[in-house]
Structure 1
Amino acid sequence: MNNYSLGSFGKWQHKRQLGVGGFGNVDHWRNVETGQEIATKSLKENHNLSGDEIAKLKQRWRQESEWMNQLQTPYIVQGLNEKIDRPFLEYLIQKHAWLSLQPIVMEYCNEGDLRSQLLLAENTNGLIEYEVREILLALRHAIEFLHTQCRIEHRDLKPDNIVIHRTGGRRLYKLTDFGFARSTSENTMLKSIVGTRNYVAPEVLDTAEYKNTVDYWSMGIIAFELICGNLPFIPHQQLYNIIINIRKKNEKCIAITEDFNENKFEFCENIPFENRMSSVFLKYIQEWLTTALDKNYSTRGTRISPVTKERVVTFYTELDSILSQKVLKVFYLPTLTFYSYVVTPEMTLRDFRDVIKRDIGTDQFFCIFPTGHPRNQLSPTYKAIDFFVEDWQDTGDDNNPPAMLYIAQLESEYSVPTPHIPAYLKKYMNSKSELPDSLLKIIEQSTHYLLHNEQLHLEAFVCGLKEQALTAEHELFQYNTDANKLEHYFHALTEMHGRVEQFGMGIEAARQTCTVQGKRRDIFFNEWFAKANKFKAVMVELEGLKVKVSKYYRSELRRAKEMAVNKIFDELKQKDVYKLLEFRRHLDTVSNERLEVCRTAVYNCLGQREKVFLNEHLKYAYSTINSMQIEFKKLQSIVDNNLNQLHQMQNAVSQSTIEFHKALIEIYVNGNGHSTYLSQDGDSSIIVNGTSDLASSINELFQYPVQSLIDEATERMLQMDIDDDINKHNDLPATIAD
């Protein structure tokens, strides 16, 4: 019998067949009562095996079953033969083609294997960095557990043997399939050829003598493939050529490619294919690959210690250091450029600012936090690591922003950088000769990268602009709260108005109650009324400025709100501007015009790119958002200057009140009169008691530049002229791109 005759048994429902291999099948089961899901692996009948082959197969099967039931780590699929109910296990045994062997019951992982993920069109250029990190972390722990805790070599590491289980919104990666695994001690040299071509270490095929570092090599191959979607060592060539050229590579070489024009092989010290990794992660992982892909199995995974000058195993520690790094992804709006930085708890805000200044070439920039960032506004107490958001590393989640931080510069127009054209497109795009399938695949990958990369940068740009508009709206809104400057400014004006009125009323009250008569009295009060009227005239000007500030603020806030909900942002983010999805559908079909399809996609992308960024809607949105923030800074400057002048005016009124009472006392003394009036101003008692520090001259109190302030602010208001400018772009095209 075989597994094709399997049916439901008791509470166990047979769901589907997960896979069919040369030796057996894997099936999916679900317990209808408990909801538990499991997978079963069973052997198929094979009448072509010799007696020795059957004996070896049985031995490996029993060993695999035993190991899977013993291995207890979250990074390896666990066997469940000893935990499943016995009647169901008996049913599986009876249905097994090899009755002397139990089928293997194991954990069910609900998202298939890693190979199926790599074959998705969206992963044509490899996986996203977050997934690469998660997989390498899981695989690293699984291998170390096997080598150190169990003394087991897997010997068949490949994406097909890494399965995925999604739980609680997170993907877990687990190693499986121990059919080729072998128990060994650290010093044992094995002499059998097992494994899968392109993943098996060269010494296995070359000498058949090896040790557990064969798993290091296989993990290095997997890491390379996860990063860029390609295998590193001319996989299209015959096995003989692969091994010969691997033997030629130096210790820095991590890939071998073929120049199809020159008919020669090229030895690469960097990953030669376009990928989705950050520049800093790529830098460090490439260095780690030099030890993982060391052609010498005896030194593989080791480095010479600078202290002892002896070789030590660094395979795990180097990888741990890389995978533990906090990589902060930054997008610079004026040049549409991504930057990435490794941030640490020790890195200060000044250090972070310096590295950004180094990269963008200016220190005139400011930070924009994406919506939902736990640090919603900049603080001098922050360190660089405060910008890093753990949950936002998964850029495959549409709910996460394309960058953890946006950098903007107000005094600039955006400049679109020259597009990155992959080397294989430059070299072979216009080829007139027939190209081999292996090269066509790389050209398709390069085309996909160009389209995806341009779409990613466009999305990051419009997301950053929208966040800048939202930030401007928030800052404007906050500026008018009770705790901020604008409301404080309005209160200060009201209070100053009351002080000036009180000053004038005090002079009038003193005149009415003054018992001294004569010309001197009249001159005295006329001079002080003139001074009071000067204060009132200034207040009239300041009140007029307040109206202008208030009007401008409302206009600016309205414009910020309009920009924050500008439909162009969502339109560009959601629209397949560069026809990336259309090209992915091509990758899933068989076509005789593969090169022509790529050529058309590339030219369309480059044409659309220019059309999008020259579009008046986008340019207007960028300039408007920047001008809003520039003008808001002017508004803040005007208000700050007003508050400063109001403070000086308050001092002047107080000093004038003091001087008035001093002079009034002199009038009474010289006129032999007696004053029965005391101002309600708080300074009056001080003056009467003769303890105040008086101004040297009344004229000095009117020297603060209120009028120049008003003239400057009015000129700025005219320059900003928001209401007249807001509708200038109503005649723009209705859409951003055809």
Structure 2
Amino acid sequence: MNNTMGSFGQWQFKRQLGRGGFGNVHYWRNGETGEEIATKIVKENHNLSKDEIAKLQQRWRQESEWMNQLQTIYIVRGLNEIIDKPFLEYLTQQNAWLQLQPIVMEYCNGGDLRAQLLLVENTNGLIEYEVREVLLALRHAIEFLHTKCRIEHRDLKPDNIVIHHIGNRRLYKLTDFGFARSTSENTMLKSIVGTRNYVAPEVLDTAEYKNTVDYWSMGVIAFELICGNLPFIPHQQLFNIVTNIRKKKEKCIAITEDFYENRYEFNDHMPFENRMSTVFLKSIEAWLSTALDQNYSTRGTRLSPVTMKRVLTFYSELDSILSQKVLTVFYLPTLTFYAYIVTPEMTLRNFRDIIKRDIGIENFICIFPTGHPRSELSHTYKPLDFFVEEWQDTRDANNPPVMLYIAGMETAYTIPTAHIPLYIKKYFNAKIELPESVLKIIEQSTHFLLSNEQLQLEAFVCGLKEQALTIEHQIFHYNTDIKGNKLEHYFHALTEMHGRVEQFAIGIEAAKKTCNMQGERCANFFNDWFAKANKFKAVMADLEALKTKVNRYYKSGLRRAKEMAVNPIFDELKNKDVYKLKEFRQHLGIISKERLEACKTAVYECLSQREKTIMCEHLKFAYSTINSVQKEFALLQSIVHNSLNQLNEMRNTLSQSTVEFHKTMVDLYINGSAHNNYLSQDGDSATFVNGTAGLTGSIDEFFQFPVQSLIEEATVRMMQMDIDDDVNKNNDLPATISD
């Protein structure tokens, strides 16, 4: 094509997108409408024979026809039938070699999947969210081709999966049908097509196959997306690859080579160095065992336990995996990631039991990251409510690394044991020159170690910051300035009870002044009631003193929580390249004799730095302070809760006392004149004694329990909080870090 022309009408040639075996792909944009398209034009090759040219023309026309028929969002759509005819004629003229009409198709603005895999940050494969998105698109594209169109693609590979950005979302689409063939499910094809390492073994071995070749290729792609490597000794000669694939058993999903032992190893599991959650990995490994079945006649199927016949499970198993809701969790005390499949049927109790089993402690705190739709934990929630769809995309720096943090107030954090990848252990001290294939995996292993440690550190400091923000929020909403909260209710209840007690005492005093009866027994009666009123006052004095301490520790806790919530150490450690991951990435892809030495240096520096960073005094201080505030606030909540209960009991008792006192006074006045000189055998007025006997017992019981025990317990707790506060003040480190 003559690129010097640059445009046709409003259509402007922008650049070449790709170069394939048969054609070149170009990007065009309409200057008037803004429409974007891609065009595929056959590439000149004068070395082809007449038969080869005829076959090329046939494939080209067939691909063009299919591209215009394949109408699904998972496949790049052909536009030949709707594009401007003059422009199409112009493009055809530029293709003068064979006068074949170009293939015009929708433009995808994100490049292809191969380019994504080659990005340095994807050295160990894509993140789980992207893997799921690609497999979902590829699964629907393949089923559409096989069932709706009776087409086999036969050349599935990352290069033929293109990306289109719409807002923040990526759409993955299958393209390039140059090797596709139309065939019924039972037809056996006998031509060798495809791309090495992605093509099914039967194509290379016997050249007889059916549509399950696409299952194999998709399985290989899935493996590569997950860990960044191809599954079957890609560095070896084709003969060795096919020979060993034929030897593998059903559950084997990868073959690797032991360089020292000069032998091949058959693996049932993915390499550890990947970015997947454990639950997703377990499920996908089971699916891969069917997708990578070396027998094309049973590939993608399983034996039904009911009919004892083979049934197609390739799509249904993958659908089940991709529909899973995986809740990601980070446990702060051990810096450990967990992942759980949450379902509508799972209860909060079930989830709590699973967490207790995994972390090994009874009491723990759940912390939602900022922006979580569930701001506070409720017993009405289910674990599925903790799952946040948008947060699966961990590429977005605004998304937290997990959906839930778990803290243990009584548990000090410990530095976890570093996972040293197998290839680092095995080949770091090699005395001989290592082949390219081994060096590449050593580099990948080193990259995984550094990036995993960085991710672990980021999750830890993010979790601590979220815990500080959460406790600050909780304490703030205990503030008396916010109407209707517990602390305001507590202070109001104390004020109200203080007034009730004063009113009770004033009532007794007023009754005494207006009483017209005389005598020692009457004086003793009022003295007893004054004594009871004074006991109420004494309790109130203790409760008021307790209120002062509660208020003091509320303000102290809020202050310390705010300080921790803005502690700069969290953002500093999150944004700092502590383990020099970015520096190491600059070495990747550079062929040099120092590749192994660069890996050694990076690993040793990382292992040396991790303990200094994670166990530094500033981070330990922040952790202990946050947990101390959390514990103290929990104690304050307990004290306030218990005090409110006791104030309620005290209110009831005081009300009963008031009623009984006035009832007795009424009886005394009514019977006072007639029985003024009448005494019972023990010298007391019968009416007087009978009217107060039950009341005396209830008041005595009230003062014995539980108010006094509450005050004593609260005082002990407050004393401990005094000690903790003094310790914190004496260890008040500056909240910064240094290089």
Instruction: Give the TM-score, by structure 2 length.
Output: 0.94
Answer yes or no: is 1:342 the counterpart of 2:341. Answer: yes
1:577–1:698: structure 2 CA closer, same or farther, 3 Å change rule?
closer
Q: Which stretch has the larger CA shift, 118-127 or 340-349?
A: 340-349
Runs of at least 5 residues in structure 2 that lack an aligned partner in the other structure: 677-687
Structure 1 residues 228 and 697, CA gap change in structure 2 (3 angstroms): closer
How far the C-alpha of 1:13 sits from its partner, in A, is 1.1
Give 1:733 deviation, angstroms.
Answer: 7.7
Tell me, in whole angstroms, the C-alpha distance in 1 between the residues paired with 2:733 and 2:139.
59
Correspondence list, 1:422-501, <5 A: 422-480=421-479, 481-501=482-502
Does the 8 Å CA contact 1:652/1:702 hold for their aligned counterparts?
Answer: no
| Aligned positions, number | 724
In the alignment, does 2:601 pair up with 1:604? no
Deviation of 1:63 after TM superposition, in Å, equals: 0.8
Q: Are 2:150 and 2:182, in contact at CA under 8 Å, matched by a contact in 1?
A: yes
Aligned partners of 1:333 and 1:461 also within 8 Å: yes
Q: Judge conservation of contact 2:93–2:99 (CA < 8 Å) in 1.
A: no
| Offset, 1:368 | 1.2
Cα drift, residue 84 of structure 1: 0.8
Q: Aligned AA for 2:487?
A: L
Distance 1:127 1:30 in 2: 31
Q: Letter of the 1:474 partner, please give it.
A: H
Cα separation, 2, equivalents of 1:61 and 1:697 = 100
| 1:153 and 2:152 matched | yes
SS of the aligned residue for 1:391 comes to: helix
Q: Given residue 410 of structure 1, which amino acid in structure 2 is its aligned partner?
A: M
Query: In structure 2, what is the Cα distance between the partners aligned to 1:556 and 1:506?
Result: 41
> What is the deviation of 1:452?
0.8
Alpha-carbon contact 1:191-1:208 (below 8 Å) kept: yes
Aligned equivalent of 1:728: 730
Pairing 1:709–2:710 present: yes
Q: Return the alpha-carbon distance in structure 1 between the equivalents of residues 699 and 29 of structure 2.
A: 95
2:202 counterpart of 1:203: yes
Amino acid across the alignment from 1:32: G
Partner SS for 1:78: coil
Looking at structure 2, the residues matched to 324 and 82 of structure 1 have their Cα atoms a distance apart, in angstroms, of 37
Q: Which whole-Å CA distance do the structure 2 matches of 1:28 and 1:427 have between them? A: 47
Measured against aligned partners, the alpha-carbon deviations of 1:75-125 in whole angstroms (never above 9, x if no partner) come to: 110111111111111111111143520111111000100000000000000
Question: Are the counterparts in 1 of residues 618 and 733 from structure 2 also a CA contact under 8 Å?
Answer: no
Cα 1:244–1:132 shift into 2, 3 Å: same
1:573 counterpart residue number: 574
In structure 2, the residue matched to 1:384 is 383
2:175 corresponds to which residue?
A: 176
What is residue 657 of structure 2 aligned with on the other side? 656
Residue 534 of structure 1 pairs with residue 535 of structure 2 = yes
Aligned to 1:628: 629
1:642 aligns with 2:623: no
> For 1:179, what is the secondary structure of its paired residue?
coil
Is 1:616–1:732's contact at 8 Å kept on the other side of the alignment?
no
SS at match of 1:586: coil
Identity, % of aligned positions? 76
Deviation of 1:33 (Å):
1.1
2:257 paired residue number:
258
- In the TM superposition, residue 296 of structure 1 has moved relative to its aligned partner by 0.9
1:4-403 mapped onto 2 (5 Å cutoff): 4-403=3-402
CA 1:192–1:486: 2 relative to 1, 3 Å: same
Counterpart-to-counterpart distance in 2, 1:163 and 1:660: 88
Does structure 2 retain, via aligned residues, the 8 Å contact 1:60–1:180? yes
1:561 lines up with 2:562 in the alignment: yes
Give the drift of 1:548.
1.1
Worse overlay, 409-418 or 530-539:
530-539
The letter for the 2-side match of 1:155 is R
The residue number in structure 2 matching 1:680 is none
- Give the CA deviation at 1:588: 4.3
1:217–1:294 Cα contact (<8 Å) kept = yes
Indicate how the Cα distance of structure 1 residues 674 and 176 shifts in structure 2: closer, same or farther if over 3 A, else same. Answer: farther
Distance apart, 1:725 and its partner CA: 4.4
The 1:647/1:231 distance shift into structure 2, 3 A limit, reads: same
Task: Give the residue type in structure 2 aligned to 1:286.
Answer: E
Post-superposition shift, 1:557?
1.0
Cα distance between partner residues in 2 of 1:414 and 1:225: 36
Say if 1:44 and 1:97, in contact at 8 Å, map to a contact too: no
Between stretches 296-305 and 170-179, larger displacement belongs to 296-305
Which residue number corresponds to residue 679 of structure 1? none
Relative distance call for 1:358 and 1:733 in structure 2 (3 A) is closer
Which runs of 4 or more aligned residues in structure 1 lie more than 6 Å from their structure 2 counterparts after TM superposition? 689-693
Q: Deviations over 1:620-667 (max 9, x none)?
A: 111111111111111112112222222232233223323433443465
CA contact (8 A) 1:336 1:417 kept: yes
Q: Supply the distance in 1 between the matched residues of 2:64 and 2:713 (Cα, whole angstroms).
A: 85
> What is aligned with 1:683?
none
- Tell me how far apart the structure 2 counterparts of residues 556 and 668 of structure 1 sit (CA, whole Å): 56
Which amino acid in the other structure matches residue 634 of structure 2? K
SS for the counterpart of 2:456 is helix
Q: Which amino acid aligns with 2:730?
A: K
Hey, what does 2:584 align to over in structure 1? 583
Please give the secondary structure, in 2, of the residue aligned with 1:479: coil
**Following TM superposition, by how much is the alpha carbon of 1:692 offset from its aligned partner in structure 2, in angstroms?**
12
The corresponding residue for 1:405 is: 404
Matched AA of 2:214? D
Q: Residue in 2 aligned with 1:678?
A: none
Matched-pair contact (CA < 8 Å) for 2:660–2:692: no
CA distance in 2, matches of 1:6, 1:253: 54
Structure 1 residue 545 displacement after superposition: 1.4
Whether the 8 Å CA contact 2:567–2:735 is kept in 1: the answer is no
Paired residues of 2:127 and 2:275 also in contact (CA < 8 A)? yes
**Superposed displacement of residue 315, structure 1:** 0.9
CA distance in 2, matches of 1:172, 1:366: 38
SS of alignment partner, residue 484 of structure 2:
coil
- Shift in Å at residue 457 of structure 1? 1.0
Alpha carbons 2:333, 2:413 under 8 Å: kept: yes
Q: Which moved more, 1:287-296 or 1:506-515?
A: 506-515
1:591–1:3 distance in 2 versus 1, CA, 3 Å: farther
Distance 1:46 1:546, change over 3 A: same
Code of the aligned partner of 2:84: D
User: Deviation of residue 335 (structure 1)?
Assistant: 0.9
**What does residue 684 of structure 1 align with?**
none
1:730 to partner: Cα distance: 4.0
Aligned-pair distance for 1:527? 3.2
Over aligned residues, Cα RMSD in angstroms?
2.1
CA contact (8 A) 2:664 2:691 kept: no
- SS of 1:587's equivalent in the other structure is coil
Distance (whole Å) between structure 2 residues aligned to residue 611 and residue 313 of structure 1: 54
Q: What SS class does the counterpart of residue 556 from structure 1 fall into? A: helix
- State the AA in 2 paired with 1:21: G
Quick check: 1:155–1:194 contact (8 Å CA) kept in 2? yes
Describe the SS at the equivalent of 1:18. Answer: strand
Partners of 1:430 and 1:98 in 2: CA distance: 57
Note the C-alpha offset of 1:66. 0.9
| Cα separation, partners in 2 of 1:699 and 1:362, compared to 1, 3 Å | closer
**Shift in Å at residue 694 of structure 1?**
4.4
Matched letter for residue 616 of structure 1: E
Aligned partner of residue 302 in structure 2, secondary structure: strand
Determine the structure 2 residue equivalent to 1:593.
Answer: 594
Cα distance, 1:271–1:347 mapped onto 2, change above 3 Å? same
Q: Structure 1 length normalisation: TM-score? A: 0.94
The Cα offsets for residues 572-615 of structure 1, whole Å up to 9 and x where unpaired, read as 11111111111112114343210000111101111111111110
Equivalent-residue separation in structure 2 for 1:705 and 1:251 (angstroms): 70
Is residue 505–residue 530 contact of structure 2 (8 Å, CA) maintained in 1?
Answer: yes
d(CA) in 1 for partners of 2:432, 2:420: 21
Q: CA deviation at 1:731?
A: 4.3
Gaps of 5+ in 1: 676-686
